[in-house]
């Protein structure tokens, strides 16, 4: 269905967002930065489902309504996050993960930044830049032709600008409508209070 110009009602019980798809064909010059004091980056080679879901929820679920991985059953999620062509990195302090970088190499010649973000304590620090530098260098070191990512209007309001400043080019936009995860039980109703719930 092609949307016409103008306003379009979103059904009750749903949430709508504008999704922007971006790509990078050659590695952008990384912007030097250091990780916040006390934090280290760890390649998590055998992530467990409960550990992953906890980090996913803290990075994106409660503030930005990330829900896709919460709707998967444990076996389906485990197959993805333990796939040898999926790399999970965690930004940690004192053994607690506060940042997530997931690189998906399952399509030949490409890498998708499947999930990228930091929990609230690291928002606005250099952690995002540090993770992006790692994403770019790690992805292109594999000899890929294309690094891609998408963001949406439910994400942090500075996310799209951050990707553009990092060297990505915007390709296209889509409107996505999904059941509101606060009404399906995937997230508590207190999640993302800045986004209204329409029952």
CATH number, domain of 159, equals 3.40.630.30
Is 131 domain-assigned?
yes
**pLDDT classification of 21: cutoffs 50, 70, 90:** very high
pLDDT of 1 higher than 80: no
Average the pLDDT over 111-115 and give the result: 98
Domains: count for the chain: 1
Is 190 domain-assigned?
no
Range of the domain at 106: 14-184
Is 90 domain-assigned?
yes
Is 6 domain-assigned?
no
pLDDT of 121 higher than 80: no
Is 124 domain-assigned?
yes
**pLDDT classification of 189: cutoffs 50, 70, 90:** very high
Is 195 domain-assigned?
no
Is 119 domain-assigned?
yes
Is 178 domain-assigned?
yes
pLDDT of 125 higher than 80: no
Q: CA 65, CA 68: separation in Å to the nearest integer?
A: 9
pLDDT tens by residue, 146-160: 999 999 999 999 999
Please choose, from the candidates 46, 42, 70, 41, the residue with its C-alpha nearest in 3D space to the C-alpha of residue 58.
Answer: 70
């Amino acid at each position: 269905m092609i949307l016409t110009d103008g306003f379009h009602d979103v059904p009750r019980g749903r949430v709508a967002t504008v999704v922007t798809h971006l790509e990078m064909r050659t590695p952008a010059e990384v912007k030097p930065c250091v990780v916040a004091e006390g934090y280290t980056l760890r390649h998590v080679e055998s992530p467990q489902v409960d550990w992953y879901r906890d980090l996913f929820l803290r990075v994106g679920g409660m503030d930005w309504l990330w829900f896709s991985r919460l709707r998967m059953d444990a076996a389906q999620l485990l197959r993805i996050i333990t796939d040898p062509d999926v790399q999970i990195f965690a930004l940690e302090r004192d053994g607690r993960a506060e940042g997530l970088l997931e690189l998906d190499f399952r399509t030949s010649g490409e890498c998708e930044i499947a999930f990228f973000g930091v929990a609230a304590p690291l928002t606005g620090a250099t952690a995002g830049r540090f993770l992006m530098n790692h994403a770019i260098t790690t992805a292109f070191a594999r000899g890929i032709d294309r690094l891609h990512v998408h963001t949406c209007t439910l994400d942090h309001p500075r996310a799209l600008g951050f990707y553009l400043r990092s060297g990505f080019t915007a390709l296209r936009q889509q409107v996505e409508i999904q059941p509101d995860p606060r009404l399906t039980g995937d997230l508590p109703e207190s999640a993302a209070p800045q986004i209204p719930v329409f029952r």
